[in-house]
Structure 1
Amino acid sequence: MRTSDQAEEVQVRSRGQFDGAGAPRLTHGLLAVLCALMTLNPIVASMYLPALGIMADDLGTSIVGVQISLTAFFAGVAVGQLIVGALSDSLGRRRVLLLAFAVLTAASVFVALAPTLELLIASRVLQGLGAAAGVVVVRAIVADIGVGPQISRAYSLLMGTLAAGPLIASFSGTVLLQVSGWRSILVGTVIASTAFLVLAIVGVPESLPLHRRAAFSAIGMGAMYGRLLRDPVYVGFLLTMAFIFAGLTIYVNASSFVAQDVLGVDVWGFWLMFMAYGLAVFAGGWMNAPLSTRYGPRRMLLIDLAVAMAASALLVVVTIVDALNVPVYVSLIAIGCAGVAGVMANATTLALGRTPFAAGSGAALMGCIQFAFGAFAGPIGGFAGPHTALPMTVGMLACFVLSFAASRFARFHEGRAPRSLPADENPPAAPLGGGAL
């Protein structure tokens, strides 16, 4: 055993964060920290969404050109997660998280200082590489120490709280744009990145004991990801998450110009509409927590997918017949995105339930494919220009249908393979009092 690792585990144990099984408990306090960390990616990724049009004009490019910088961030997150996942299975969750957040903070400075679109895009890739640890490590910590129905409930709360990120980002971006211009928004990401680094230092314990760590090597990393990809059930639920996230990304990328150019609202009107979306995701995730515990993640996944597909199909219809207005748009987006939150929570639970032998790698591969799909799909909403919502609505519907197909693929193969998760008829949830989730 390495001396540094011995010292690390002794220090963590001395703080009373490990229970008798050698791992910290999933307490309310730890879950609150993990929920806060889940907001990192949407804050860093989308704080400048209210300024897309102004940025495009100032940088001498198009809406799609600026959207590519968001795609670059997602691409960095996708690639970074593969590395972070394997490293966290070897070095531990906390150490890798802190190193990655330090990279994120430095990259945010480069983004704020970037004088051209090309340098902005390159810096956003580096920013994404650092931000990758947030998604991977949070999911892996829950998989490390969650027990039974705690896991599904925790992922539901995490996905619901994820909506706070876009709300904070859109509000902060709108205020900074009005007060100091779009460059100040990029400075805001530096402040946010620093705050997340401090929170990780103070609030995240090590959840992976030394005896469960695996030696890191490029060959071993490839072999582990190959093993995961040979499990059709894991792949099916992974694709369920990836396609639903791609549809959500299409909406987020297009939301600014659809609100302002298609529906004719100002920047504050856009923020109110975006707030409705965020509250819907929050409500969908938190409502899914007790429902998935009672009815099981498989059943709730099907219901949530049906809600998302129905809402997006209606959006396509009202757009085609030129009946899209603010109340209809906000209502259907809210309903659909509430369903999306439930899909993300349940798909995560079901996919990572197949990977108890390597939770970090399982979360990393899932996140990599998820963000790669998001990076590819992100610009779709702007393909026909900023004066129509049809590409956005059709793109969302197509992604949600593909997500449904992937879930059916997973369930078909799950019926032919042993389950790694408890059956949908979960035992009663543990009481929430006394500190443990």
Structure 2
Amino acid sequence: MPAIARDLGTTPGTVQLSLTAFLVAFAVGQLLVGPVSDGVGRRPMLVVGTAVFAAASVACALAPDVVVLVLARIAQGLGGAAGAVAGRAMVSDVANGTRMARVFGTLAAINAIGPVVAPLAGGAVLTVGTWRLMFVVLAALGLLLCAIVVLRFHETLPVGRRGGAGFAANGRRIRELLGIARFRAYVLSGVLSTVGFFAYIATSSFVFQTEYGFSEGGYTLVFATNASMMVVTTLVFRRVVGRFSEDALLTAGLVVGTTGATGVLVAALTGAGPVVVWCALAVVTAAWGFVLPAAMTRTQHVGAAHPGTAAALQGGLTFGIGGLGTPLAGALGGTALAMGGVMAALMAAAVVVQVTATRRHAGRT
């Protein structure tokens, strides 16, 4: 980002706006695309989304000023959102029950690997070129994905199951799903736990590098270790989901995550040191390996009447509102105490929502 600011003759804060624009567009885009995919099908959304992502990446690479960069990043976020939400909906179209849960477990594992691999890949790209080359690489990946969709992906939503396009039809689908109490509970527990996740993502580097004096390499080891824990537990989730209910696994993940976050908070209060905080965070990230696929699966199951809309609400709201964890932990000081406090409070609230909703549902059945 400093290099972008120098090349475009602007401030680092203004360049940071380009990242914010992408994240907001990615969240809002899911809310827009999901209901539309229930009306017109998944494949058109994937084709258009990957093409827009590729074209926007080219625009980023050629941006003459920061205004063009920000606008291109918005388009990039919208294109990426189409792929994310339509992809999840396609899983719901062709799979159900344990098979669907296992596929979502695989997706969660890929999502866990991404934060580890992407910075390393990005660093490798920057050793041979400037920041503009980064967007050229993204454009190439977007074109590759678009080609794969065109050549290999078939429509998974039959015409007879489509609910019509237009604002009225999209709004009806959203209202219908939000009218289901169990659906709202799953989304809310996902939002709360995701706020904690974003607090960890945004604050942990400051905690370990500034508060505990770790080098950049040392922090990379911390982050990679914790991400690896999440990868392992998502694979475990795939193995055990047929033996235990998804609700039980979701509740267990939230409880374990709350326990780990409380460990971070206690370690910060008692001055136990970075190793204890590191271990407690590993417990939290391991728990998310159960929380993410279980929440995704249950939300899609309850919202099975409109899978695209369900994926949009689950992804858009959890990503958009969950992103509040980024400034929240920083505003409280960006310390281990702030990080542990935000994670513990929000994940405990998610446990309350999940347990309460499960008991009410059980009582009705």
User: TM-score scaled to structure 2, two decimals?
Assistant: 0.88
CA shift in 2, pair 1:330/1:366, >3 Å: same
Separation of aligned partners in 2, 1:266 and 1:109: 34
How far off its partner does 1:379 sit? 2.4
- The alignment status of 1:339 with 2:305, answered yes or no, reads no
Counterpart position of 1:209: 158
- Describe the shift of the 1:261–1:154 C-alpha distance in structure 2 as closer, same or farther (beyond 3 A): same
Who is 1:268 aligned against? 217
Report the 3-state secondary structure (helix = DSSP H, G, I; strand = E; otherwise coil) of the residue aligned with 2:305: coil
Cα deviation, 1:366-411, whole Å, max 9, x if unaligned, reads 111111113322222332566x333333222222122212213431
Other-structure match for 2:240: 291
Q: CA 1:140–1:383 in 2, change beyond 3 Å: closer, same or farther?
A: same
Which residue number in structure 1 is paired with residue 343 of structure 2? 396
1:77 Cα deviation after fit: 1.8
Q: How does 1:10-409 map to 2 (within 5 A)?
A: 60-61=11-12, 69-114=18-63, 120-177=69-126, 180=129, 182=131, 184-325=133-274, 327-383=275-331, 388-409=335-356
Deviations 1:316-357 (A, max 9, x none): 2222333332x3343222221111121111112222211222
Equivalent residue letter for 1:339: A
| Contact 2:2–2:12, Cα closer than 8 Å, also in 1 | no
Indicate conservation of the 8 Å contact 1:103/1:130, yes or no.
yes
Amino acid in structure 2 at the alignment position of 1:375: G
For 2:46, the aligned partner's letter is: L
| SS, match of residue 243 in structure 2 | helix
- The structure-2 alpha-carbon separation of the partners of 1:412 and 1:354, relative to structure 1 and needing over 3 Å to count, comes to same
Q: Residues 237 and 407 of structure 1 are in contact (CA less than 8 Å); yes or no, is this contact kept in structure 2?
A: yes
- CA change 1:289–1:109 in 2 (3 A) is same
Q: 2: CA distance between counterparts of 1:57 and 1:410?
A: 52
- 8 Å contact 1:157–1:289 — kept in the other structure? yes
Q: What is the Cα deviation at residue 113 of structure 1? A: 4.4
Deviates more, 1:206-215 or 1:182-191: 182-191
Q: Secondary structure at the match of 2:302?
A: coil
Q: Percent identity?
A: 30
The Cα offsets for residues 214-265 of structure 1, whole Å up to 9 and x where unpaired, read as: 2111011111101111111001011112222222122222344434333433
**In the alignment, is the contact (CA less than 8 A) between 1:156 and 1:289 conserved in 2?**
yes
Is contact 1:319-1:389 (8 Å) kept? yes
Quick one: distance in 1 between partners of 2:355 and 2:224? 32
Shift in CA distance, 172/343, structure 1 to aligned 2, threshold 3 Å: same
Sort the Cα spacing of 1:90 and 1:156 in 2 relative to 1 into closer, same or farther, 3 A.
same
Contact kept in structure 2, 1:160 and 1:286, CA below 8 Å: yes
Contact 2:264–2:336, Cα closer than 8 Å, also in 1: no
Q: Deviations over 1:186-239 (max 9, x none)?
A: 444334333333333344322112221221110111111011111110010111
Once residues 320 and 290 of structure 2 are traced to their aligned partners in structure 1, the CA distance between those partners, rounded to angstroms, is 21
Q: Root-mean-square deviation (CA), in Å?
A: 2.7
* Partner-residue secondary structure (3-state), 1:236: helix
Q: CA deviation at 1:57?
A: 9.0
Q: Give the conservation status (yes or no) of the 8 Å contact 1:67–1:378.
A: no
Is the 1:228–1:234 Cα contact (8 Å) retained in structure 2? Answer: yes
CA 1:384–1:181 in structure 2 vs 1: closer, same or farther (change >3 Å)?
Answer: farther
Query: Match of 2:282, SS?
Result: helix
CA distance in 2, matches of 1:171, 1:109: 22
TM-score by length of 1: 0.75
Is residue 356 of structure 2 the alignment partner of residue 414 of structure 1?
Answer: no
Contact 1:75–1:375 under 8 Å retained in 2? no
How far apart, in 2, do the equivalents of 1:89 and 1:341 lie?
28
**Matched residue count:** 363
> Structure 1 residues 309, 385: closer, same or farther in 2, change over 3 A?
closer
- Write the deviation string for residues 397-433 of structure 1: whole angstroms up to 9, x where unpaired: 2221222122134314423556xxxxxxxxxxxxxxx
Q: Partner amino acid for 1:267?
A: E
Note the residue ranges of structure 2 that are not aligned, 5 or more in a row. Answer: none
Are the equivalent residues in 2 in contact too, given 1:71–1:378 (CA < 8 A)?
Answer: no
Q: Which amino acid aligns with 1:345?
A: P
Distance 1:183 1:249, change over 3 A: farther
C-alpha contact (below 8 Å) 2:263/2:277 kept by paired residues: no
Q: 1:186 to 1:74 in 2, by over 3 A?
A: same
Tell which deviates more after alignment, 271-280 or 365-374: 271-280
Of the structure 1 ranges 110-119 and 249-258, higher mean CA displacement relative to structure 2 is found in: 110-119
Q: Which amino acid aligns with 2:197?
A: L
Q: How far is 1:74 from its partner? A: 2.7
SS of residue paired to 2:324: helix
Distance 1:218 1:56 in 2: 39
Distance in structure 2 (CA, Å) of the matches to 1:238 and 1:184 = 38
Per-residue CA distance 1:264-304 (angstroms, 9 max, x = gap): 33433333322222212211211111222101111111111
